[in-house]
Amino acid sequence: MSNKNKKLNKTSLGRRKLLKSLATVPVFGVFLIALWQKMRMDALKKSNVLSNLIQEKTAPAAISDLSNTKHLNLGIIGYGGRGHHLIRGVGFATPDWTEKAGENARKNKLDKALVTFMSQQDLNCSIVGVCDLFDVRAEEGIQASKNEIRPGSKSIQTATRYRHYKELLANDEIDAVIIATPDHWHARIAIDAAKAGKHVYCEKGLTRTFDEAIKVYDTIKETGIVFQLGHQNRQVEANEKAKQIIDQGLLGPINLVELTTNRNSPWGAWVWDIHPEGNAKTIDWDTFQEPAPNKIPFGEEALKRFFRWRMWFDYGTGLSGDLFSHDFDALNQIMELGIPKYASSTGGIYFYKDGRDVPDVWHATLEYPEKDLTVLYSATLSSNNARGNRIMGHDATMMMGGHAGTGSVHGFIVTADSESTQYKDRLEQGIINTKYPIYTYSPGSKQIDGVTSATSRYFANRGLLYTYREGKRVDSTHLHIKDWLDAIRSGGQPKCNIEMALHEAVSCHMATESYLTGRRIEWDPVNRKLI
Amino acid sequence: MNYSRLRLISLTVLRILVGWHLLYEGISKLINPYWSSAAFLLDSKWLLSGVAQTIVANPTLLSISDNVNMWGLTLVGALLLLGLFARYAAVAGAILVLLYYFFAPPFFGLEYSKPAEGSYLIVNKNLIEACVLWVLYTFPTSHIIGLDRFFQVTNKSEDIYE
């Protein structure tokens, strides 16, 4: 072959080599074009159509320096299961609890209960008084006040036990009290505490009866103390986000809201453990039942009633005060509903034929004619089918908890309605598709938590256990206590103040009254009476 | 290695398809701000479930796992597609995909929270894809069709000029 030919051949072979080397580059180009197209379509479709519309407000900051201003002495009246949790929210756990939580964390790396507790802000308080009618729990309260395994430094003072709440209120060193007794005691203690000048954190439901609720309201107003009702959902970020969306009218006119409770375990139906050390000597039964309409002598039945008090109308209001109150208050927080004009309710004892007199399947309807709104509440204690809560608007539906949670803790999704007026154009253009949520809120979705048992998942889905601040898990009860203490120190109003408490109490009592009397109950706001 | 034209094309197409798949698996995770390997790891069964738990419980390890997955898949996919360092990419890809298999093997008696998209008994698509990647390692094509050709120092097989 001549030199010239060789050269030509070499050039063409060189070009062939280049072509073969780059042969798959066009495929890469096709990939990039396909990717770009897909991303553009996704961005249009499932996108954050709503998040563009929402004026984002960040969640309230969890940290404020108010805790450093004044040391507060607290008393706890009623140190049962809920009392334990509340006092942990203050920053004190029993040695048993810290030990067990430490062990759980060692066994299961996903169990963050201890980490969450220890990373709580030090609220600069001491527990100086514990009142409980059961000796074992009173002693546990004293131990908790002394426990040095806590967020922050060693406590300045430790607790003294009081056998009667009036003795505790007589201690001038105590600035504020937390009431976590059964409901039939709430009114008396709250009223006496307010009159003694103590600030009050009271567990929900506000009272056992409607009349008591009005009396508590008037006393708190007269004395001007700082009052917080124990609806920790007020601190939940998801509810704040939901409120922003609804305030901006993104759901359109809302005429129906469905709230549900779905539980299916004895514990969830208040069949709680009877403490082995509970007996006539360790329990002050007579004091316990003093405000109850029906009294019985101490014995086995009394033991059941002491430890499982939510099963009887003598001490509480069953589903109404325990669970409906939470869902109602969350909705009141989101939609600022106030007290309904009418309420009716039905139900029965269909599953737990164990001597209780409160219903285990119960439904209530609240009517707000002035707001063109019906609120439906439906509860069962014999099915775990998580129905979730739905706020149903003409333009979109917001589904909270339940199946909408999609595994996240207290998430919600907003889905457009196919017949929406507001989104008509976007629906026609295919920008909004009713199959995909137009807004999804799922806090902590990048974070995995070991919230395990079905009941704790129930609470978590409703934001009653944990909420998120800047992506970090925080106990909502702790935030709620802190909100109350901040208000005491700054002279402000906490989030679930006495006005909100009155809304909750009257609405729940209207529904309970309807169940007990079998008729529709009307609220007379002028005379503050139920008709 | 001597390939007939048909074998060369078949193997190259296989390389491109697997590359495309892994590339998109990686990119789809990169562009999803909520994606995390935690959900997959939490559902891990069999021998590696303990390792999976440790990774999930430790934010640093989880973040490493997330990044290895997102960037690993993207890189392996792109290299296979372009035929650049394709043999190394095939081995890395095979190991990665084999890990997915062993973190959640379709053995009888193991139940997963998400149903599989097909029916598998011991063998699933991960195992097959890992095997395909191994085949791509043993039968390389990137030195003929692909950017690896630029790195060829000596001429082999059909790379004869004269």
Average pLDDT over residues B98-102: 94
Cα(A225)–Cα(A5) distance, integer angstroms: 104
Sorting pLDDT into bands at 50, 70 and 90, what band is A471? low
Average pLDDT over residues A89-96: 96
Cβ of A24 within 8 Å of Cβ of B56? The answer is no
Which pLDDT does position B111 carry in this prediction?
Answer: 81
Cβ of B159 within 8 Å of Cβ of A17? The answer is yes
A178: CB partners within 8 A, 6+ apart: A74, A75, A76, A77, A83, A86, A87, A90, A201, A481
Helix or strand run (H / E) with residue A258: strand A254-262
Q: To probe the interface with A, which of B75, B142, B147, B154 has the most A CB atoms within 10 Å?
A: B147
Tokens read off for A134: 């059961």
Length of chain A: 531
- Measure in Å the smallest separation between the Cα of B34 and chain A Cα atoms: 6
Average pLDDT over residues B104-124: 84
**Other CB atoms within 10 A of residue A163 CB:** 14
Peptide bond into A205 cis (omega under 30): yes
Which pLDDT does position A69 carry in this prediction?
Answer: 74
Which pLDDT does position A177 carry in this prediction?
Answer: 98
- Measure in Å the smallest separation between the Cα of B78 and chain A Cα atoms: 8
Q: Per mean pLDDT, which range of A16-20, A93-97, B92-96 is the poorest?
A: A16-20
Residue with tokens 């008709």: A531
CB pairs under 8 A between A and B: 64
Which pLDDT does position A435 carry in this prediction?
Answer: 79
Highest mean pLDDT out of A282-296, A406-420, A459-473:
A282-296
Top-confidence residue, A405 or A419: A419
So what's the ipTM on this one?
0.79
What is the DSSP track for A432-486?
Answer: S-TTS-SEEE-TTTTS-----SHHHHHHHHTTSSEEEETTEEEEHHHHHHHHHHH
Which pLDDT does position A413 carry in this prediction?
Answer: 83
Cβ of A109 within 8 Å of Cβ of B161? The answer is no
Cβ of B149 within 8 Å of Cβ of A20? The answer is yes
Q: Per mean pLDDT, which range of A380-384, A428-432, B80-84 is the poorest?
A: A428-432
Residue with tokens 């006393």: A219
Tokens read off for A127: 């527990």
pLDDT averaged over every residue in chain A: 88
Q: Name the CA radius of gyration of chain B, rounded.
A: 18
Top-confidence residue, A52 or B54: B54
Which pLDDT does position B49 carry in this prediction?
Answer: 87
Q: Per mean pLDDT, which range of A35-49, A407-421, B89-103 is the poorest?
A: A35-49
CB-CB neighbors (< 8 A) of B56 in chain A: 109-110, 448
A225: CB partners within 8 A, 6+ apart: A193, A194, A197, A198, A199, A200
In B, minimum Cα distance to A110 occurs at B57
Cα(A287)–Cα(A53) distance, integer angstroms: 57
Which pLDDT does position B42 carry in this prediction?
Answer: 80
**Does A115 contact chain B (CB < 8 Å)?**
no
**Does A41 contact chain B (CB < 8 Å)?**
no
Which pLDDT does position A438 carry in this prediction?
Answer: 79
What percentage of chain B exceeds 70 in pLDDT?
91
Which pLDDT does position A440 carry in this prediction?
Answer: 74
Cα(A200)–Cα(A488) distance, integer angstroms: 10
Q: To probe the interface with B, which of A3, A4, A19, A21 has the most B CB atoms within 10 Å?
A: A21
Which pLDDT does position A61 carry in this prediction?
Answer: 45
Q: Which of A10, A31, A446 sits opposite B161 (nearest CB)?
A: A10
**For residue A256, is pLDDT > 70?**
yes
Sorting pLDDT into bands at 50, 70 and 90, what band is A62? very low
For residue B1, what are the CA distances in angstroms to A31, B157, B160? 29, 7, 14
pLDDT in tens, A478-531: 999 999 999 999 888 999 999 999 999 999 999 999 999 999 999 999 999 999
What is the DSSP track for chain B?
Answer: ----HHHHHHHHHHHHHHHHHHHHHHHHHHT-TT--THHHHHT--GGGHHHHHHHHH-HHHHHHHHHHHHHHHHHHHHHHHHTSSHHHHHHHHHHHHHHHHHHS---TT---SSPPSS--BSB-HHHHHHHHHHHHHHS--TTTSSGGGGG--S--TT----
What percentage of chain A exceeds 70 in pLDDT?
85
Cβ of B162 within 8 Å of Cβ of A448? The answer is no
Give the HSE-up count for residue B75: Cα atoms under 13 Å, Cβ half-sphere. Answer: 14
Cβ of B149 within 8 Å of Cβ of A445? The answer is no
Nearest to A500 by CA among A266, A208, A297, A230: A230
**For residue A307, is pLDDT > 70?**
yes
Top-confidence residue, B93 or B45: B93
Cβ of B145 within 8 Å of Cβ of A23? The answer is yes
CB-CB neighbors (< 8 A) of B149 in chain A: 17, 20-21
Cα(B100)–Cα(B119) distance, integer angstroms: 17
Chain B residues in contact with chain A using a Cβ-Cβ cutoff of 8 Å: 12, 16, 20, 23-24, 27, 31, 34, 36, 38-39, 42, 53-54, 56-58, 78, 81-83, 144-150, 159, 161-162
**Does A19 contact chain B (CB < 8 Å)?**
no
pLDDT in tens, A96-154: 999 999 999 888 877 888 988 998 989 999 999 999 999 999 999 999 999 999 998 88
**For residue A410, is pLDDT > 90?**
no
Cβ of A109 within 8 Å of Cβ of B82? The answer is no
Nearest to A443 by CA among A483, A414, A406, A479: A406
CB-CB neighbors (< 8 A) of A17 in chain B: 149, 159
pLDDT in tens, B8-40: 999 999 999 999 999 999 998 888 776 788 878
pLDDT in tens, A182-211: 999 999 999 999 999 999 999 999 999 999
The three-state secondary structure class of A416 is: strand
Average pLDDT over residues A26-35: 91
**For residue A460, is pLDDT > 60?**
no
Across-strand partners of A373? A368
- Measure in Å the smallest separation between the Cα of B145 and chain A Cα atoms: 5
Which pLDDT does position A52 carry in this prediction?
Answer: 55
pLDDT in tens, A324-356: 999 999 999 999 999 999 999 999 999 999 999
